[in-house]
Amino acid sequence: MIAQEHTDALTKVLGDKGVVTRHEDMEAYETGARYDRGSAAAVLRPATTAEVSAAVSYCVRNGIALIPQSGNTGLVSGSTPDASGSEVLLSLDRLTRQFALDLDNRSVRVDAGIRLSELNRRLEEQGLFFPIDLGADPRIGGMIATNTGGSRFLKYGDVRRNTLGMKVVLADEDGTVLDLDCDLRKNNTGVDWKQIFIGTSGAFGIITECVLNLERVPKQTATAFLVPASGAHVLPLLNAMEERLGTNLSAFEGMSKNAIAATFAHVPSLKNPFQGGNVPGYVILAEICRTWAPREGEQSLDAVLEEVLAEIWELEEAPLADAFVGPPHEIWALRHALSEGVKHLGKLIAFDLSFRRGDIMAFCDHMKAEMPDKFPGITVCDFGHIGDGGVHFNLVVAKNSPLMTDSSFEQRLREWVFAVAVEQYGGSFSAEHAIGRRNQAFYDFYTPEKLKEMAGGLKTLTSPGKLGSVRFG
Ligand SMILES: Cc1cc2nc3c(=O)[nH]c(=O)nc-3n(C[C@H](O)[C@H](O)[C@H](O)COP(=O)(O)OP(=O)(O)OC[C@H]3O[C@@H](n4cnc5c(N)ncnc54)[C@H](O)[C@@H]3O)c2cc1C
């Protein structure tokens, strides 16, 4: 619990709505989307950049540790406090006022607390959207701090590619507001400082405003489930699609049989298109899109997709065994339900890995072959963003498995998975969820000393106060 003198001083700065200290009101902020649950000394809810600055300045001067929180949908224990009860959460949930659209520039300036769904709802009328697509509803500040990837990375890139500028409050005694508020796409006039705040989990400063690149909402979309001839045919299938569709290919998502079957079992209302309901070993969700409305005499996008698939089907050593073209909302419903679906099989231990695209299936096959010997009773329910090399390598322990009572097994499992992914396959141990408390030990282990030293220097330079859940230096 925070001392009364601090509550009083912070209430003077933020008003009554800006300081939460009652246990029952803090609970939702203290509880993460999936695993984590901590205990906060207080929750601060500033409504402007100036209020963030004043609150941060007060906390730094008084040695109070701050954890920035946006939508609290992060999956690596980054946005919640630890169990000590001494950390103060700084929530962005009231920092939502600004919304300034620049149609000619195809960009928007917003406060960092706006939810992704709200941003896209307000842009809909203009036929624009912020093109990061995922199964959660984060706030923009958290998306920048974790550099969210999502399902359409293949076409639009990640948050980094779509962030033009920002305002950041540094955790120093003045609560310095750093104005990196550029709305240019091209600017090479010095160090691009905004980059150090993207994907670094709030360790170097609190993002309070930003300028985002926008894209046109597609007016035509066609989707299909594709069944590759085998795991080894997944990449040839992707290459064949890219060759024929170029940037019209907007998603190429992989889903294992175990992940799909668990999801169908958990959400019976989902449509199962596979013959006799039998789920194939691996399924790809492919999406193509165009930003213009269908023109008279122009082939429909479904027809384009069918024609491309027929061409691939006829290739020598065809990588495609089967295909089901269907309406986008039905096809995506399964993909978006996977995270929840696998959770219900048992205890979920999730890994957010990435590889060179050609190594993804080899890594998954390697692990599936070795898993029964190393960790019997674990089901691999992998799915991911094959088009950008990302894999959500989800492992589920059955509720009645003896592993559930073995307190050391999770650590051994994590060490083994990361060792194979990073050391044998040259992959990343955190593809798009950033570091957080959950990955701290692996950051410490896998990051070269010189890089840690440089990151530590950057931290002292930017935010010497106690900020964020990650220690980079
Ligand atoms: C069902 C589900 C599906 C998901 N799918 C994907 C996916 O496909 N791709 C993907 O990349 N992620 C995915 N995620 C993870 C998560 O949604 C993203 O990491 C998200 O962008 C986090 O944003 P948030 O607003 O919830 O941030 P939070 O969870 O609140 O915070 C995340 C981190 O950023 C820091 N932070 C928050 N706000 C700020 C700020 N303003 N300034 C500085 N630091 C800040 C926090 O301290 C924390 O370390 C998924 C999560 C769920 C629950």
Q: How far apart are CA 38 and CA 59, in angstroms?
A: 20
Q: Does the CB atom of residue 339 touch ligand 1 within 6 A? A: yes
Q: How far apart are CA 368 and CA 362, in angstroms?
A: 10
Query: CATH 3.30.43.10 occupies which residues in the chain?
Result: 4-91
Q: For 338-381, how does the pLDDT look when each residue is reduced to its tens digit (9 = 90+)?
A: 988 998 889 999 999 999 999 999 999 999 999 999 998 899 99
Q: Ligand 1, from 45, 52, 133, 134: best to mutate by most atoms within 8 Å of Cβ?
A: 134
What's the whole-model pTM score? Answer: 0.96
Q: Ligand 1, from 49, 75, 386: best to mutate by most atoms within 8 Å of Cβ?
A: 75
Percent of the chain having pLDDT more than 90?
Answer: 92
Ligand 1 atom closest to the CA of 75, numbered from 1 = 15
> Side chain identity at 83, as an amino acid letter?
A
Tell me: pLDDT of 35 over 80: no
Instruction: Give the domain 345-424 fold.
Output: Alpha-Beta Plaits (3.30.70)
Q: Does the CB atom of residue 148 touch ligand 1 within 6 A? A: yes
Tell me: pLDDT of 1 over 90: no
Ligand 1 centroid from CA 280, angstroms? 32
Q: For 47-66, how does the pLDDT look when each residue is reduced to its tens digit (9 = 90+)?
A: 999 999 999 999 999 999 99
Cβ contact 39:83 at 8 Å: yes
Of all protein residues, whose CA lies closest to atom 21 belonging to ligand 1?
A: 143
Apex 458 CA angle, 113 and 87, nearest 5: 50
Q: Does the CB atom of residue 273 touch ligand 1 within 6 A? A: no
Query: CATH 3.30.465.10 occupies which residues in the chain?
Result: 99-216
What pLDDT does residue 434 have? 94
Token look-up 């992940």 returns: 259
Q: For 418-445, how does the pLDDT look when each residue is reduced to its tens digit (9 = 90+)?
A: 999 999 999 999 999 999 999 999 999 9
Q: For 73-132, how does the pLDDT look when each residue is reduced to its tens digit (9 = 90+)?
A: 999 999 999 999 999 999 999 999 999 999 999 999 999 999 999 999 999 999 999 999
Query: CATH 3.30.70.2740 occupies which residues in the chain?
Result: 345-424
What b/e readout covers 449-463, taking b as 16+ CB neighbours within 10 angstroms? eeeeeebeebbeebb
Q: Does the CB atom of residue 79 touch ligand 1 within 6 A? A: yes
CATH number for the domain running over 4-91:
3.30.43.10
Of 3.30.465.10, 1.10.630.10, 3.40.50.11270, 3.40.390.30, the CATH number of 99-216 is 3.30.465.10
Ligand 1 centroid from CA 241, angstroms? 31
Q: Does the CB atom of residue 436 touch ligand 1 within 6 A? A: yes
Ligand 1 centroid from CA 12, angstroms? 30
Ligand 1 centroid from CA 26, angstroms? 19
Q: How far apart are CA 273 and CA 280, in angstroms?
A: 11
Q: Does the CB atom of residue 352 touch ligand 1 within 6 A? A: no
Which residues pair with residue 354 across a beta bridge?
390, 428
Ligand 1 centroid from CA 243, angstroms? 33
Of 3.30.110.40, 3.30.70.2190, 3.40.80.10, 2.30.40.10, the CATH number of 220-337 is 3.30.70.2190
Ligand 1 centroid from CA 32, angstroms? 10
Ligand 1 centroid from CA 327, angstroms? 29
Measured over the CA atoms of residue 154, residue 235, residue 321 and residue 385, the dihedral's sign is: negative
